[in-house]
Structure 1
Amino acid sequence: MAELRRHAERIYTGAIRRALPDVAVKEALKGFRPGPGRTRIIAVGKAAWRMASAALGAIEADGGLVVTKYGHSQGPLPGVEILEAGHPVADAASFAASERALELVRDLGEGDSVLFLLSGGGSALFESSDLPLEEFRDINRQLLACGADIQEVNRVRKRLSNVKGGRFGEACAPARVFSVVLSDVLGDRLDMIASGPAAVDASTLEETLAVAGKYGLKLSSQAMALLARPLPAALPHVESHVCGSVSQLCQTAAEICRGLGYESRVLTDRASGEARETGEALARALLRERRAERPLALILGGETVVKLTGQGKGGRNQELALAAAPILAGMEGTALFSVGSDGTDGPTDAAGGFVDSGTWALLREQGIEVPAVLAENDSYHALERAGGLIVTGPTGTNVNDLSVALYWPPGMPQNEEPVFTTAEYRL
């Protein structure tokens, strides 16, 4: 099964390499026409450093700010402050970074411009609220633990925020805002990516209150009052461009799979269910569709959720992969992996996980039962024991997750060389 592991590495590294924002940001900036005044760069998200670096190679700026996750900056950038903050839950550094961003745009006027570079992760990294930090963090913890999908989570967070739901874009006025967005949201909805700091919100108060009721969120009277505040109804001075998405990630993965000799199919680029259920369904689809005479790759992208029932360590991609292990057990020639394109999966140093037909037996030999591990949300340690952790380090991009199930008929020879060069797809 070592060959399937090597195939998996080629697929995810190649797909992520193609999703790096450098070229896409420079292409988007061909349409940027700054005003006669000052131009400031505000970059927010897990890919903020790389996006800002690309932008600084294409335009001249009068200072700016990068706000990214701890460990995701890659060194100083000329004339730009770099602040790191908490993710997936906002911390004091998130609040401080957001206040600094507001300071940098408050003195802008007619003829000035803001280049706003946005990527996933901004919902936690870029945050300011009238609520005390601990209360705000508690609400976030409730949302992340209850099984709410990302759109439901953001629907609540943006109304508690002073920079989400278009409020940062509003704060930039009258300066013009040119927003370049790397999408980690299904359907590339601008109001949902990082909770839409510079986009008019499409949700209603009634929908937000329905989320709170559905999951039994415990909210103070102050929090309820903040939810009721109106969001900006129009932002005529803001122009936005999406420069990368999960659909592109999936299509690149499919191209690489074909180069390796697989028949490849993208099942969906909008996966959003529970991680363990998605992993089981993908594994079953592989077993159902495999044929003795053909290699097969089934691909899906999106962002699943984990419902916390234990106190273990892991992330949605690790849980998705591990849940497939019992289904693939003993099915020679099968494997499945799932990775976060940003290189971090939940609060861990892993990007995701890999399992094959031998993973289940290997774990059982060590006294580890997959259902018990999943109940404890401890996929990290189980995959570590099975040699199934995928560790890439921060990648510099963030366009959701990639999950691929692989089948190579036992005994069928491998291609000696794929139809692409390794260097083209290396991170």
Structure 2
Amino acid sequence: MSVHSDAQTVIRAALAACRPDAAVHRALEGRDFPAGGVYLVSIGKAAWQMAACAAEVLGPKLRAGVVVTKYGHSMGPIPRCAVWEGGHPVPDTNSFRGTQAAMDLVRDLGPEDQVVFLVSGGGSALFESPLVPEAELAEITRALLAGGADIVEMNTVRKRLSAVKGGRFAQLCAPAKVFAVVLSDILGDPLDMIASGPACPDSSTCAQALAVAEKYRLPLSPHAAELLAQETPKSLSNVETAITGSVRELCAAAAKVCRELGYEPLVLTDRLCCEAREAGSFLASIARSHDGAERSLAFLAGGETVVHLTGDGLGGRNQELALAAAPGIAGMADTVLFSLGSDGTDGPTDAAGGLVDGGTLDRLTAAGLTVHDVLRRNDAYHALEAVGGLLRTGPTGTNVNDVAVVLLRR
């Protein structure tokens, strides 16, 4: 066994431990449903996986359903459900069509009906019925992403430009009851922010939304500015919610595997939220300070970093984090640092993240690349690809933020 094979073992086991199937099964198995029909709406990157499990548990109780997930994340048909794939992180026409199908499904339900609403990360883009033109919504979303807005800031704005976010979907379901099963992808599990809270009262205010718009100088039309000044639902009487899965579970699962492999693990944080390259440099400094350890160590950090775009390259936050760590661990033997998106995708790429070791910097230099220049161009994908440092898992069926792990094998 090598430190590289240990890293792959940690990745596989941690992702497997956080799949939503069992959690959805626990939430629905044995549950009593109203006398009317049961209807399923599942949204987000993990929507297909969650819906497939729910359809199996519900069986003939399920009358119809709509699943809206990211391109490439559907794994086939689900009984009695229409499956839609749409754009992420920027919603597109298929996102809107899938959302409209869900709205049509629940619009005329009665008080004896039940909506099983499955929510996972990515739902903010995938589940959308915009109150502004599609082109304007896309422009606003791109401006937030390019400015480095965090997920809470993005959702504070987007829910006010939507007919389904900020509790409005639950209002549309009324008088039917809504049972929401939520796979959290936001630090601290704030229900009103996960997928922009379609079935949760909104705790953010108009003043906060307008402050975000000013902070990032968003290109708002007069109508969009007017929508940001309109308040969202602050109470909902027809919703019951169960949270399942979070980055804490991801970190705990990864730490468990590290311990089984002979490492002494330490979870540094499950609320990492800073610039990706700064996180990479920090984790590398921790590795360097323990280079002389006599026992194998593992340091873990879960959360979601941000990237400020300064170039037109290709990459994602996990790839930037890993690449930024390469200089700090250069020359260290039996040392690996990787950062991984639990959904299997990192930015607009086919990679889940990146992995570097003590020899990565030399390999980059041999390829004519410098870390500073690559980060300036935001081109971590091509740099890591050139030195064999990309992590590819394919869509995982879950989405509980990211985890970065430093392994020192001694």
* TM norm structure 2: 0.98
CA distance in 2, matches of 1:325, 1:141: 29
Residue of structure 1 in register with 2:164 after alignment: 163
Residue of structure 1 in register with 2:261 after alignment: 260
Residue of structure 2 in register with 1:110 after alignment: 111
CA distance in 2, matches of 1:303, 1:296: 23
Note if 1:368 corresponds to 2:384.
no
Q: CA deviation at 1:292?
A: 2.9
Task: Summarize deviations over 1:55-102 as a string: whole Å, max 9, x none.
Answer: 111112001101000010000011100000000111111111111111
Q: CA deviation at 1:373?
A: 0.3
SS of alignment partner, residue 353 of structure 1? strand
Residue of structure 2 in register with 1:302 after alignment: 303
- Checking the alignment, whether the CA contact within 8 Å between 1:290 and 1:296 is kept in structure 2 is no
Residue of structure 2 in register with 1:420 after alignment: none
CA distance in 2, matches of 1:31, 1:172: 23
Note if 1:33 corresponds to 2:32.
yes
| Aligned positions of 1:173-252 closer than 5 A | 173-252=174-253
- Checking the alignment, whether the CA contact within 8 Å between 1:32 and 1:178 is kept in structure 2 is no
Note if 1:315 corresponds to 2:322.
no
CA distance in 2, matches of 1:273, 1:239: 33
**Structure 2, unaligned runs of 5 or more:** none
SS of alignment partner, residue 170 of structure 1? helix
**Structure 1, unaligned runs of 5 or more:** 410-427
Alignment coverage as a number of residue pairs: 408
SS of alignment partner, residue 75 of structure 1? coil
Instruction: Pick which of 282-291 and 40-49 moved more.
Output: 282-291
Residue of structure 1 in register with 2:329 after alignment: 328
CA distance in 2, matches of 1:130, 1:160: 5
Q: CA RMSD in A?
A: 1.0
Amino acid at match of 1:262: Y
| Aligned positions of 1:16-27 closer than 5 A | 16-27=15-26
SS of alignment partner, residue 244 of structure 2? strand
Q: CA deviation at 1:213?
A: 1.3
CA distance in 2, matches of 1:301, 1:22: 22
Amino acid at match of 1:126: F
Note if 1:136 corresponds to 2:161.
no
- Checking the alignment, whether the CA contact within 8 Å between 2:166 and 2:199 is kept in structure 1 is yes
Residue of structure 2 in register with 1:47 after alignment: 46
- Checking the alignment, whether the CA contact within 8 Å between 1:45 and 1:122 is kept in structure 2 is yes
Note if 1:58 corresponds to 2:74.
no
Amino acid at match of 1:390: L
Q: CA deviation at 1:31?
A: 6.5
Q: CA deviation at 1:290?
A: 4.2
SS of alignment partner, residue 207 of structure 2? helix
SS of alignment partner, residue 224 of structure 2? helix
Note if 1:77 corresponds to 2:73.
no
Q: CA deviation at 1:34?
A: 1.5
* TM norm structure 1: 0.94
Instruction: Pick which of 353-362 and 29-38 moved more.
Output: 29-38
CA distance in 1, matches of 2:289, 2:225: 48
Residue of structure 1 in register with 2:11 after alignment: 12
SS of alignment partner, residue 24 of structure 2? helix
CA distance in 2, matches of 1:117, 1:33: 17
Q: CA deviation at 1:167?
A: 0.6
SS of alignment partner, residue 214 of structure 2? helix
Task: Summarize deviations over 1:149-201 as a string: whole Å, max 9, x none.
Answer: 11111111111111101111111000000000111010111101111110111
SS of alignment partner, residue 327 of structure 1? coil
Note if 1:282 corresponds to 2:272.
no
CA distance in 1, matches of 2:160, 2:7: 40
Instruction: Pick which of 385-394 and 287-296 moved more.
Output: 287-296
